[in-house]
Amino acid sequence: MPIHTTSDGWVLETQATGYALGLNQAGLLVHRYWGPRLLDPDDYPRAPDSAGWASFNNPAQLTPEEYPGYEDMKFVEPCLKVTFGDGVRDVVLRFAGAEVHEADGPELRIQLRDQAYPFRLTLHYRVHAAYDLIERWVTATNDGDTPLQIERIWSAQWHLPPGDAYRLSHLTGRHMNEFSLRREPLTHGVKVLESRRITTSHHHSPWFAVDRGHADEDAGEVWFGALAWSGNWKLAAEVTDFGSTRVNLGLNDWDFAWRLAPGESFVAPSSYSGYSYEGFGGASRRLHDFVRDTLLPHGKTLHKVLYNSWEATEFDVDEPSQIHLAELAAALGVELFVMDDGWFHGRNHDRAGLGDWWPDARKFPNGLQPLIDRVNALGMEFGIWIEPEMVNPDSDLYRAHPDWVIHFPTRARTEGRNQLILNVARADVQEYLIEKLDRLLSDHNIAFIKWDMNRNVSEPGWPDAPSDPRELWVRYVQGLYHIWGTLRERHPQVIWQSCSGGGGRADLAILRLADQIWVSDNTEPATRLGIQEGFSQLFPANTMEAWVTDMGASYLSPAFRFHVSMCGVLGIGGHLARWSAAQRTEAARWIALYKEIRPIVQLGDCYRLRSPQMHPYSALQYVSKDRAEGVLFVFRTHLQGPAVLPPIYLRGLDPDARYEVEGIPGARSGRAWMHAGLSIPLNDFASSARRIRRAAG
Ligand code: GLA
């Protein structure tokens, strides 16, 4: 039973972990424990009492509350800040009941009620036992007859065991250089990571891992988590003056307000967190399995090798040139042909066309059907690029509806890449986009959509907002989910890819809609190694679309370029018409090999053996779930000579079974490959992909 009720609270148990919370003597809902699962529900520590410290630190300041509201003399980061109708800005929440819903997750629901106002908060704890994850979110309800205003509503405060010093791992970056992994000590005060860009952002990811400073990929205690939200978010990791460490995760409260009308509820997004005693690798593998098994719309469907025309032709697409590329792609073994930007009305460059989602009559005089028919006849599926939330001022849509964009009437409308953002919080905008895109999908045999989003917000106004215009930050994302969700429901066979100028919208919530993420516009393979490593902290390889393009082709071998992309979902994005016959023959060989190994890469366990961000000689391994097969990728970028290359120690094998590693004579035990290691000599900018197979008998 994953949820136990104990004398002073509740214990949530997963396969390997326990999480305990309860009521202390003062009646406050407090954190008790988060770590390895203990033998007995009564083994978990009791709820800590509230103690104070002189007049400057009331008990409220020192109590590890599960979900502190702003009240009393509380100066730690609260999760909730509310202003009631009469102007009172202090929320006094106290325990009012708890229920366990076994069928629903299972889920523990705890009710907190304000002591003076008809305001209620439900804390939800859902246990994902097989993944050692706990999902937390909250619902706020106004049971009264006057509106109130929510100014902050985070999804969870995650408490680390008290009294220790911790290190925070997080991802940071920018366009063309997303997902750089950083590790730094958490010191007294608050470390804030956030997005204020209306998307998840290239700059930080709503993900964290916290350890005591000495965990590695294989071993050590790691507490980790992520927020499932694709708009403004905030992570506030606080070390209090009394040495208590907690990580808050939720919607960004910056410029945020939500008017909660009588009878209404507000549901905050889910935050998922877990504990691993198998280091950062163990944390990642738990998230990977969870994403693949429970979030992705098409779950464990193997993804096809695609060709995308963007880096080859940019806006210069038309029927004959796309058909030519499609013929070349089919001959390589490509299974899905994706036409990128440039196909729709008036789209000859990035200054016009966005919003007018029908085929450009000059480029496609007979519509898209002849191209799609040809692609299908070549044995490939057809995919297409869209950027629904955007509009160019030079478009029929903007000329008809200039008021549909996010703007302040008295301010200039700042353009990014010559475009403005449609306010998808508006019902009329939602209807327009659903109608246009539904028609595109209904009229054509489209198997794949790349959904792009190429700028961040400015002048975040909503002139005729029905409620507080600052609700835009949340209602925009809800509108996006509504449009995308409606289209997905109507066209369930379509595979969607989330792109935002690369990895600008990568999070657990978008993966309920999209099966894949376009990780970065940077396809230079050596740089990509680090980007992909960061991405893999959170996301599984079957969500990681990776193209071989012409970037890096002048100094990196085709093998290196293919090996990098084969670590995820292989795609091709180079200008095939300019590839020589020999290059195309070699590409066909790599694609054929990828098709053999893709079940292991896309659905297996990922082991980061040596970090490319730390070492110019790096390695990554995938192992099938039954541990019968694996693939090892080894890369060397520039290493000053003379260099002694370290052994590579494999991971994830059955220690007592015997395995063969391609290119190395003789079978050895899993134990030997994992502890004695193997040597893969490589020159600068060379790579190797080796298959690993359990030996017969
Ligand atoms: C963004 C995407 C690219 C490409 C272009 C098209 O930059 O990340 O892959 O689709 O837009 O304009």
Shortest-distance Cα residue to atom 2 of ligand 1: 501
**113 CA distance to ligand 1 centroid (A)?**
48
pLDDT of residue 345: 98
Chain segment 66-119, per-residue pLDDT in tens: 999 999 999 999 999 999 999 999 999 999 999 999 887 899 999 999 999 999
For residues 498 and 678, give the distance between their C-alpha atoms in angstroms, rounded to a whole number. 38
pLDDT of residue 335: 98
For residues 528 and 568, give the distance between their C-alpha atoms in angstroms, rounded to a whole number. 11
Shortest-distance Cα residue to atom 12 of ligand 1: 341
Residue 67 Cβ contacting ligand 1 at under 6 Å? no
How would residue 8 be classed by pLDDT, with cut points 50, 70 and 90? confident
Mean pLDDT, residues 536-542 taken together: 98
Residue 221 Cβ contacting ligand 1 at under 6 Å? no
Give the full edge-to-edge strand order of the sheet including 617-623: 605-610, 617-623, 629-636, 686-694, 658-661, 668-669
The dihedral through the CA atoms of 533, 229, 124, 79 has a sign that is: positive
**312 CA distance to ligand 1 centroid (A)?**
12
Residue 501 Cβ contacting ligand 1 at under 6 Å? yes
Higher pLDDT, 55 or 366: 366
Burial 220-254 (b: 16+ CB within 10 A, else e): bbbbbbbbbbbbbbbbbbbbbeeebbbbbbbbbbe
Instruction: Provide the residue type at 664 as one letter.
Output: I
User: Could you say which DSSP state residue 258 is in?
Assistant: E
Collapsing DSSP to helix, strand or coil, 607 comes out as strand
225 has pLDDT over 70: yes
Residue 342 Cβ contacting ligand 1 at under 6 Å? no
C-alpha closest to that of 544 among 179, 271, 175: 179
For residues 146 and 337, give the distance between their C-alpha atoms in angstroms, rounded to a whole number. 55
For residues 283 and 209, give the distance between their C-alpha atoms in angstroms, rounded to a whole number. 8
For residues 548 and 576, give the distance between their C-alpha atoms in angstroms, rounded to a whole number. 11
Residue 238 Cβ contacting ligand 1 at under 6 Å? no
Determine the residue of 385, 451, 551 to mutate for testing ligand 1's pocket, defined as the one with the most ligand atoms within 8 A of the Cβ atom. 385
**421 CA distance to ligand 1 centroid (A)?**
16
Shortest-distance Cα residue to atom 6 of ligand 1: 341
346 has pLDDT over 70: yes
C-alpha closest to that of 324 among 559, 552, 593, 316: 316
Shortest-distance Cα residue to atom 4 of ligand 1: 310
Chain segment 239-255, per-residue pLDDT in tens: 999 999 999 999 999 99
3-state SS record for 19-84 = EEEEECCCCCEEEEEEEECCCCHHHCCCCCCCCCECCCECHHHHCCECCCECCCCCCCCCCEEEEC
Active-site amino acid positions = 452, 521
CA 247-248-249 angle, 5° bins:
120
Partners of 111 in the β-ladder: 97, 122
Find the helix packing angle between 319-332 and 369-377, rounded to 10°.
20
User: Could you say which DSSP state residue 295 is in?
Assistant: I
The answer to whether 72 touches 87, Cβ cutoff 8 Å, is: no
C-alpha closest to that of 79 among 137, 1, 132: 137
pLDDT of residue 484: 98
Residue 341 Cβ contacting ligand 1 at under 6 Å? yes
The answer to whether 214 touches 279, Cβ cutoff 8 Å, is: no
3-state SS record for 300-335 = CCCCCCEEECHHHHCCCCCHHHHHHHHHHHHHHCCC
The answer to whether 316 touches 285, Cβ cutoff 8 Å, is: no
Mean pLDDT, residues 188-192 taken together: 97
**501 CA distance to ligand 1 centroid (A)?**
5
Mean pLDDT, residues 610-617 taken together: 97
pLDDT of residue 519: 98
Q: How many CB atoms lie within 10 A of CB 89?
A: 12
**388 CA distance to ligand 1 centroid (A)?**
13
pLDDT of residue 53: 82
Mean pLDDT, residues 277-284 taken together: 98
pLDDT of residue 634: 98
The answer to whether 62 touches 52, Cβ cutoff 8 Å, is: yes
318: exposed, middle or buried (C-beta count within 10 Å: 0-12, 13-18, 19+)? middle
Interstrand relation of 167-174 and 177-185 (parallel, antiparallel or unpaired): antiparallel
Shortest-distance Cα residue to atom 9 of ligand 1: 521
For the chain, percent of residues with pLDDT exceeding 90: 95
The answer to whether 460 touches 473, Cβ cutoff 8 Å, is: yes
The Cβ-side half-sphere exposure at 439, using a 13 Å CA radius, reads 10
**Stretch (H or E) spanning 449:** strand 448-451
Residue 454 Cβ contacting ligand 1 at under 6 Å? yes
C-alpha closest to that of 135 among 113, 103, 168, 109: 109
pLDDT of residue 51: 81
Mean pLDDT, residues 47-53 taken together: 86
C-alpha distance across the termini of the chain, in Å: 39
The answer to whether 584 touches 331, Cβ cutoff 8 Å, is: yes
Chain segment 411-462, per-residue pLDDT in tens: 999 999 999 999 999 999 999 999 999 999 999 999 999 999 999 999 999 9
**108 CA distance to ligand 1 centroid (A)?**
43
**Stretch (H or E) spanning 17:** strand 17-23
pLDDT of residue 163: 86
Residue 499 Cβ contacting ligand 1 at under 6 Å? yes
350 Cα nearest atom in ligand 1: 12
Shortest-distance Cα residue to atom 11 of ligand 1: 501
Contacts of 143 (CB under 8 A, 6+ apart): 118, 119, 120, 263
Interstrand relation of 658-661 and 605-610 (parallel, antiparallel or unpaired): unpaired
For residues 115 and 122, give the distance between their C-alpha atoms in angstroms, rounded to a whole number. 15
What is the radius of gyration, based on Cα positions, of the chain? 26
For the chain, percent of residues with pLDDT exceeding 70: 100
Q: How many CB atoms lie within 10 A of CB 155?
A: 29
501 Cα nearest atom in ligand 1: 8
pTM: 0.98
pLDDT of residue 104: 73
Mean pLDDT, residues 579-596 taken together: 98
For residues 291 and 391, give the distance between their C-alpha atoms in angstroms, rounded to a whole number. 32
Mean pLDDT, rounded, of the chain: 97
Instruction: Provide the residue type at 361 as one letter.
Output: A
Tokens (6 digits) for 621: 């391994």
pLDDT of residue 1: 67
Residue 340 Cβ contacting ligand 1 at under 6 Å? yes
Residue 217 Cβ contacting ligand 1 at under 6 Å? no
Residue 452 Cβ contacting ligand 1 at under 6 Å? yes
- Give the C-alpha distances (Å, rounded to integers) separating 592 from 84, 256, 305: 63, 51, 10
The answer to whether 483 touches 434, Cβ cutoff 8 Å, is: yes
For residues 652 and 477, give the distance between their C-alpha atoms in angstroms, rounded to a whole number. 39
